[in-house]
Amino acid sequence: MDIKVESGDITKSAAKAIIVNLFQGVTSPGGATGAVDKALDGGIAALIAEGEIKGKRGEVALVHSLGKLPTPRVLVAGLGKQDDFTIDVIRDVVGTALRRARATGAKTVATILHGAGIAGLDPEECAQAIAEGALMGGYRFRKYKNGGSVDGEEAGSDIESLTIVESDKGKAAAIKKGIERGQIMAQAANFTRDMANEPANELPPSALAARAQELAKDAGLEIEVWDEKKLTAAGMGALMGVGIGSVAPPRFIIMKYKGDPSSKKVLGLLGKGITFDSGGISIKPAAGMEAMKGDMSGAAAVLSTTWAIGKLKPKINLTCIVPTAENMPSGSATRPGDVVRAMNGKTIEVINTDAEGRLILADAICYANQEKLSPIIDVATLTGAMQIALGPGATGFFATTDEVANGLTEAGAKSGEQMWRMPLIGAYAEGLRSNVADIKNTGLRNGGAISAAEFLHFFVGDTEWAHIDMAGTDESDKEKGVWVKGSTGIPTRTLINFVLGWAAKK
């Protein structure tokens, strides 16, 4: 979708659909909506009086212009209550309205700059939110659809262009800048979605590495991919132990962005890349196992984030690390009771082969420490316990410092992706004690997400660190605002905003 800005009057737009807005409780529309209403001889006001248009958040009313405007369709998007209006509302409003416009068959759409006039928000931020909402809300994964309808819409019905029409020419530069950043943010989230939505037979570790190489090339980043021979030579026994049961061998991806050559400090982003998780010998129940193709969502998020940072070019150094493997049962698979050795020499007793994400991250953390990366932030669909604790409304994370924790919380708020700090409880590490090795890979049943974090903490040591467990937020089962069915792309935009914020502070 091409997104652009144009100076002018929305009532003069010849796009196949235009989007205006309305706060809940407003009976007489003003501003651009009022101008459109006037051109429609009070048609919008009449529908408000009839109770058909209420302005509730998420509501999109379709009004046909019947030749009274150059456009055949007007979409009146509900903003909800004025006191609750935020940038998040703009994203959701645009995402919902664009899907409604797409359903009508409109190929070109024009919209006003929501939020800048009626709420006095920054024009650049409003434009960024519109771009994010349009590209994320309009996302569909159709790679394996052979024509026909898609969710009730005909194939090929995608919107080709969205124009932000603004009467104040002085805002054009800020709007254009906001669009550019919003497109990068949304494209990164959609890259994450693309990878997470791929079936596992199409995206084994080698193919995930190939995707990473494509992203690196496009953003001008350095990249290195280690095969199983190099992993063995490096002593990454935890990663090899997870991948050894599959015919698709593991890989280790290292992607680097060097935006501050004058500094030796390098931030590390680590992502769990289990391209399919059967549970291994400790096999999962059959019901819902197909969703385990998305157990590499953390890897997808950090790869896409690093691509976006390469495009945005902040003054910071960043290394992205992805350990990737397929967790399968076979005659060569790691068994419960086996002992594997991590890169730093520490031994791990494998109690449950379905607790494999923490194993591959252990080797990634060891490598990050070897490279002196700090802070380290790892991202993973790690535990069902986190999903139970927070559900789909917030992404849980742990952090060793308030500075990193506050940075993630603020970045999440800016992205519309709520982040919730969980406690690190050292006493829970006692449940990870092994009789035969330095540590075992599962602890007490209660507080499972904290126990998993403490396992990772064992390998982190004193390095500044955060662990994001996005098991509850990586997928959506419905369409709402910018979220569509399938992968959400969370926490890609949070990570981008965190890196940008960290660069600004340092």
If you write DSSP's letter for every residue of 221-232 in order, what string do you get? -EEEEE-HHHHH
Q: Terminal CA-to-CA distance of the chain, rounded, Å?
A: 35
Question: Does 181 participate in catalysis according to the annotation?
Answer: no
**412-463 residue pLDDT tens:** 999 999 999 999 999 999 999 999 999 999 998 899 999 999 999 999 999 9
Q: CA quadruple 64, 65, 66, 72: dihedral positive or negative?
A: negative
Q: How many angstroms separate the CA atoms of 39 and 9, rounded? A: 12
Mean pLDDT value across residues 339-363: 98
Mean pLDDT value across residues 237-251: 98
**260-289 residue pLDDT tens:** 999 999 999 999 999 999 999 999 999 999
Annotated catalytic residue, options 107, 284, 346, 485: 284
Q: Using alpha carbons, list the distances in angstroms from residue 119 to 57, 88, 89.
A: 15, 13, 12
**51-77 residue pLDDT tens:** 999 999 999 999 999 999 999 999 999
The mean pLDDT of the chain is 96
pLDDT over 70 percentage in the chain: 98
Contact predicate 215/304, CB 8 Å? yes
Neighbouring C-beta atoms of residue 151, cutoff 10 Å: 12
Whether 151 shows a pLDDT value over 90: the answer reads no
Whether 149 shows a pLDDT value over 70: the answer reads no
Place of tokens 């691509």: 307
Q: Which pTM value belongs to this model?
A: 0.96
Annotated catalytic residue, options 16, 91, 293, 358: 358
Which helix (DSSP H) or strand (DSSP E) does residue 256 occupy? strand 251-258
Query: What pLDDT score was predicted for residue 150?
Result: 54
Question: Does 358 participate in catalysis according to the annotation?
Answer: yes
